[in-house]
Amino acid sequence: MSSSEAPSEKVSNATGRRLKSDYHKGMDATALALSISNHLKYTLAKHPQGATLHDQYWSAASAIRDRLVDRWIATQKMYNDRDVKRAYYLSMEYLPGRSLRNSIINLGLAEPFTEAMKQLGFSAAELFEVEPDAGLGNGGLGRLASCLLDACATLQVPAMGYGLRYEFGMFRQTIHQGEQAEEPDYWLRLGTPWEINRPEATYPVKMYGNVTWGAFPDGRPRREWVNTQELWAVPGDVPVPGYGNNTVNILRLWAAHGTDLFDLEYFNSGDYIRSIDRAMHSENITRVLYPNDKVAVGQELRLRQEYFLASASLQDMIRRYRRNHQTFDALPDKVAVQINDTHPAVAVVELMRLLVDVEGLAWEKAWELTQGVFGYTNHTLMPEALEKWSLDLFGRVLPRHLEMIFDINHRFLQQVLQKYPGDVERMRKMSIIEEGREKWVRMAHLAVVGSHSVNGVSALHGRLLRQRLFPEFDQMFPGRFNSKTNGITPRRWLLSCNPGLSGLIADRIGTSWPANLDQLRRLTPLADDAAFRGEWRTVKRKNKERLAALIDHMTGIRVSPDAMMDVQVKRIHEYKRQLMNILRVVDLYRRMKEPGGDSLPPRTIVFGGKAAP
């Protein structure tokens, strides 16, 4: 196919999936180098001699993105044409990492890209370091969400992630005189080449106001949410390529925009700050990841963020579903929504609002559909994962939703009472509303009641959910609780991060293991192979030398590659067990000082992580 021809809509194999030969952009080094040069000239209007390192990165990323676009369009068209069931992942956090290297690996372009860099006189290593980490998450929750999307694309599961397009990440950490200092993480300062803006898929999101009675066009009564503050949810799409299969799924990120850019009356009177106050208040929703929720304003902003994500995403799902369906009867057969921890749990009641108040469905039918659609992943047993909102705050921001939660809770407790007559203590434990001096909405309870499946993230965690956290719910809903063990993508965490080791593995067992990790079992017999063990130690030694050099560069502290590297990198928090770990370090040191302690191997112990400001 020549560069002037449009790609054919035909596919070359019986599976309906396109082959590499079906696509428009060349995958060899020469074609890559030409694409990068063209983007440098025609996208950035730069001469090679005047191009900055960031210009080189942007051009290279744009060339790689071009090679995703045909695959992206073909994947989404196939999903739509076949009316497949789609999995939607709602998460307040993603940590996708840097996209350039990951996309190159998943497209099978590692060698051609390296050669293209040589032809252009660029440094691939320098380009990879220029790309900022997307500031969309904080830690394990976001990384696991991104690994799940990568796995779905690699397994060719029709899936889509929804999140928020935070302008600022949690914070950028520096260390001064042994103490953490925080600086703004403005990761979007120079933009990102990976995002495709989709303003045509903008949705209104309402908050505050009050609720009154109204009527549908056919005269049926309905509750109407009026006198609200409205803002726009504007999406940008980021490609999520599968490994070696031409599938490209989507991570859709919502940005908040005010419906009124400024108040003309205040502007004309010279009060310029107040004229844009409402727009700024709206856009604060996606300004920063994790506002300080120790103060009332921060708590309110966090609730607004969570609802903004839920409402915009569900409106988008319903629009996509309605392309092929006149009624909602098939909704659970075509839509699966997974709630990543309790943060997006307000989506349960938002879907009820959309089905009952907007689409006019009967309550019982809407609740049946809602439970059929939602699944809930609980990540920890700690209070941080079990959000609660005061009734005062929740009712002020989302008055209609609080009404519906009361209704959901009343109907649910009637079921509890019917199954366990007179068991008031059980009803108190299971109620979505926590009673007391101050009343709270228990979002985890709402997620459990509103979902058909609730999973822990390991077998042990799933058992503790059933036995300790939600025993009454497990008795009420046998079979609803289960376990889905957390996993991480080997494409990023071995193939990309550790090229020396991944190359050694490929030399011995081939290259199919990145998409099928069970293949690594073929390494077991090599444990008795002295030559293989020697090569393994050589790879490990080189990695330890790289780590020692990095520590020296960043801290000025020299460590020996001969020592055992003992590393804990986590968010600094009491439940992450850094204190327990340092007590272990003290114990190790004391044992080394005791008689016979010189037999213990030397260790370099490294702690890394961010502490909440």
The answer to whether the beta carbons of residues 72 and 246 sit under 8 Å apart is no
586, containing H or E segment: helix 578-593
pLDDT at residue 178 in the model: 83
Instruction: Tell me, yes or no, whether 566 lies in a domain.
Output: no
In 3D space, the residue among 252, 224, 242, 250 whose CA is nearest the CA of residue 77 turns out to be 250
In tens, the pLDDT along 570-604 reads 888 887 889 999 999 999 999 999 999 889 999 99
In tens, the pLDDT along 127-148 reads 999 999 999 988 788 999 999 9
Evaluated on CA atoms 46, 50, 51, 52, the torsion sign reads: negative
**Neighbouring C-beta atoms of residue 135, cutoff 10 Å:** 23
Of 483, 506, 522, which residue constitutes the final position of a domain?
483
293 and 242 in a single domain? The answer is: yes
Instruction: Tell me, yes or no, whether 300 lies in a domain.
Output: yes
Q: How far apart are CA 494 and CA 243, in angstroms?
A: 13
pLDDT reading at 214 higher than 50: yes
pLDDT at residue 278 in the model: 62
pLDDT at residue 12 in the model: 47
DSSP type of residue 572 = B
59 and 91 in a single domain? The answer is: no
How big, in percent rounded to 5, are the helix, strand and coil portions of the chain?
Answer: 50, 15, 30
DSSP type of residue 132 = P
In 3D space, the residue among 80, 87, 157 whose CA is nearest the CA of residue 324 turns out to be 80
54 and 156 in a single domain? The answer is: no
**Which pair of structure tokens corresponds to residue 416?**
């509890």
Instruction: Tell me, yes or no, whether 180 lies in a domain.
Output: yes
Phi-psi group of 375: left, alpha or beta (phi > 0 → left; psi -120 to 50 → alpha; rest → beta):
beta
DSSP 473-518: HHHHSTT-EEE------HIIIIIIT-HHHHHHHHHHH-S-GGG-GG
For residue 375, the enclosing domain spans 83-97+133-483
In 3D space, the residue among 151, 158, 319 whose CA is nearest the CA of residue 235 turns out to be 319
43 and 158 in a single domain? The answer is: no
Q: Kindly report each contact of residues 420-429 with a partner whose C-beta sits within 8 Å and lies 24 or more positions away, as own/partner.
A: 426/472, 429/472
Tell me how many domains the chain contains: 2
Burial zone of 100 (CB within 10 Å; 0-12 exposed, 13-18 middle, 19+ buried): buried
Q: Which residues contact 377 (CB under 8 A, 6 or more apart)?
A: 338, 339, 340, 341, 454, 455, 457, 484
285 and 305 in a single domain? The answer is: yes
Q: In the structure, what pLDDT confidence band is assigned to residue 277 with cuts at 50, 70 and 90?
A: low
Instruction: Tell me, yes or no, whether 45 lies in a domain.
Output: yes
250 and 338 in a single domain? The answer is: yes
Q: Which residues contact 531 (CB under 8 A, 6 or more apart)?
A: none
In 3D space, the residue among 603, 354, 328, 380 whose CA is nearest the CA of residue 486 turns out to be 380
DSSP type of residue 327 = S
Of 483, 509, 531, which residue constitutes the final position of a domain?
483
pLDDT reading at 86 higher than 80: yes
Instruction: Tell me, yes or no, whether 494 lies in a domain.
Output: no
pLDDT reading at 3 higher than 80: no
89 and 116 in a single domain? The answer is: no
Residue type at position 398: L
92 and 2 in a single domain? The answer is: no
Q: Between 99-106 and 110-120, two packed helices, what is the crossing angle to 10 degrees?
A: 120
28 and 171 in a single domain? The answer is: no
Q: Which residues contact 391 (CB under 8 A, 6 or more apart)?
A: 402, 433, 438, 439, 440, 441
Instruction: Tell me, yes or no, whether 309 lies in a domain.
Output: yes
200 and 59 in a single domain? The answer is: no
Q: How far apart are CA 268 and CA 275, in angstroms?
A: 9
| 3 state DSSP class of 18 | coil
Segment 537-561 mean pLDDT: 94
In DSSP terms, 172 is beta-bridged to 183
Q: How far apart are CA 293 and CA 109, in angstroms?
A: 44
| 384 or 288, greater pLDDT | 288
140 and 236 in a single domain? The answer is: yes
DSSP type of residue 431 = -
179 and 117 in a single domain? The answer is: no
Segment 389-401 mean pLDDT: 97
Instruction: Tell me, yes or no, whether 5 lies in a domain.
Output: yes
Mean model confidence pLDDT for the chain: 91
Segment 154-166 mean pLDDT: 97
pLDDT reading at 14 higher than 50: no
pLDDT reading at 271 higher than 60: no
- Domain with 290 in it: what CATH number? 3.40.50.2000
Instruction: Tell me, yes or no, whether 173 lies in a domain.
Output: yes
The answer to whether the beta carbons of residues 519 and 495 sit under 8 Å apart is no
